[in-house]
Amino acid sequence: MSTASVIETGDDRNLTWANIFTDEKDAPLWEQGMVTLWFLLTFVEFPGTSPILYLLVLAMVGLFFIDMEKTIPLFFRSLPLFVMPVFGLFSFMWSAHPSAAIRDGVLLTLTPLTVLVIANRMDLRHALRCMMFAGWIAAILVLPNLGSNAAIVPYGSRNVLAMQMTFMSLLSLTAILNKREMNWVRMVSVPFVPLGIYLVIASGSATSLVFAVLGPVALILAKIFWVDAARVAHMRTSILTVFFVLVIGVLMIVLSMPTNNFEDQFLQLVGRERNLSGRTTIWMAGRVIQDQHPMFGTGLAGFWNPENGAAQSINFYDYKPFGTKLTFHNAFMEVRVHLGWIGFWMFVAIWVWCGFRILKTWLQSHHMEASMILVAALCAYGSTFTESVMFATFKTPTTLLYLGAISGMAASRKRFVGRIPVVVNTETRELKPLNS
């Protein structure tokens, strides 16, 4: 804001004109439509849409070079996101399938690049709105086939379906709680929150069910005790202090119970056994592969292929058809197997950097978008221990994680709105509109 033309008012205040700017990146509708289509095609896997997906990738790369004066500095500030994908790209040198490793490495590298372009072209609220619209469409497509395998096919598995619907419901609830969002968007969002939770329950995924229950609670608490608390001085500090005291108190009580069986009670509540639907057997096989390739791993596309006897043995004991491309249902193990210890610590560095950026933004922001990103990051981190989706390309939780980390560093697009008269208090130096 800049000021000029100071006029004496006769008291301890001065009247002046202020130039008003908006720092929101108001992307054109065609660009928002393109991003919505991109999110939709990465939300669900429609048959025959791969050419459209690759065309959108080319468009994103084109936008990266068109806006180089902003994207290049943003790229260097976001460099931690690109280290592991580039290392994975070079793993073709020791992978059993070099061409497939190059393809997977390129896609891994393009994942943060596309998020970078989106963060550069529009602000976080618009990006989350586009993702929410994509989630609505994806949810509507599931309804006609609900209860049959046809509902799961576009998502690959019931766990992925449940995860996507969890994020859709969280985005919808964020829009409802966000006073900055358009009123019609907030109203239309209302039915999609219970719809998303219902689809999660219908899918039968225990992990996503936990997130679908705790996520909305966390968002509502963030709205009441964090976003609105920003209006009161030192209120946030007091809330954080009380929260940490409560957490420490609960941990002390739990750890003082040597015979507690909370884990067994939780697994019984969600209808799961201790082997986590056979995941522990797959993890045992993964540890063997880790020991065989400790430093560099098997390389991208070096394990889950029909020629690999160990992979097909896992299919056999997991009752899957020969040649099925499974995952280890653990993102950290997936990285350890394919990229070894080197790739593992690069993956950990991504989480540390993103976590720091997201937490810093959340502590400084008084908007619902920052709370949504924090909750999404916690859900994504929790999913790494039961799913490998965070090591996949163009997936929703990865996009949300990267978007939250990058958006705060993207250059603003200040746009002149107009001039208004304001009153300057000469004692406090505060600016207030003339009629306030």
Sorted by sequence, the CB contacts under 8 Å of residue 419 that are 6+ apart come out as 17, 18, 19, 20
Sorted by sequence, the CB contacts under 8 Å of residue 199 that are 6+ apart come out as 139, 142, 146, 161, 162, 165
In whole angstroms, what is the distance from residue 189 CA to residue 23 CA?
26
In whole angstroms, what is the distance from residue 31 CA to residue 361 CA?
26
The first and second tokens of residue 233, run together, are 């001085």
Which pLDDT band, with edges at 50, 70 and 90, does 4 fall under? very low
Which pLDDT band, with edges at 50, 70 and 90, does 17 fall under? confident
The first and second tokens of residue 215, run together, are 């996520």
Higher pLDDT, 233 or 399: 399
What pLDDT, in 10s, does the model give residues 347-405? 999 999 999 999 999 988 888 999 999 999 999 998 898 888 899 899 999 999 999 99
What pLDDT, in 10s, does the model give residues 398-412? 999 999 999 888 765
Short-list 33, 96, 71, 140, CA closest to 311:
96
Least reliable range by pLDDT among 288-302, 313-327, 384-398: 313-327
DSSP characters over 232-289? STTHHHHHHHHHHHHHHHHHHHHHT-TT--HHHHHHHHTT--TTTTTHHHHHHHHHHH
In whole angstroms, what is the distance from residue 332 CA to residue 386 CA?
10
Short-list 131, 80, 159, 91, CA closest to 326:
159
What pLDDT, in 10s, does the model give residues 92-138? 999 989 999 999 999 999 999 999 999 999 999 999 999 999 999 99
What pLDDT, in 10s, does the model give residues 74-95? 999 999 999 999 999 999 999 9
Which pLDDT band, with edges at 50, 70 and 90, does 263 fall under? low
Sorted by sequence, the CB contacts under 8 Å of residue 408 that are 6+ apart come out as 357, 360, 361
What pLDDT, in 10s, does the model give residues 203-231? 877 888 888 899 999 999 889 888 877 66
Beta pairing class for 2-8 and 415-425: unpaired
In whole angstroms, what is the distance from residue 133 CA to residue 40 CA?
8
pLDDT for 230: 66
User: Using alpha carbons only, what angle is made at residue 45 by residues 42 and 51, rounded to the nearest 5 degrees?
Assistant: 80
Q: What is the mean pLDDT of residues 20-30?
A: 71
Taking the whole predicted model, whether its pTM rises above 0.95 is answered as no
User: Using alpha carbons only, what angle is made at residue 40 by residues 145 and 215, rounded to the nearest 5 degrees?
Assistant: 80
The sign one gets for the Cα dihedral 303, 309, 310, 316 is positive
What is the number of other CB atoms lying within 10 angstroms of the CB of residue 239?
A: 16
pLDDT for 2: 41
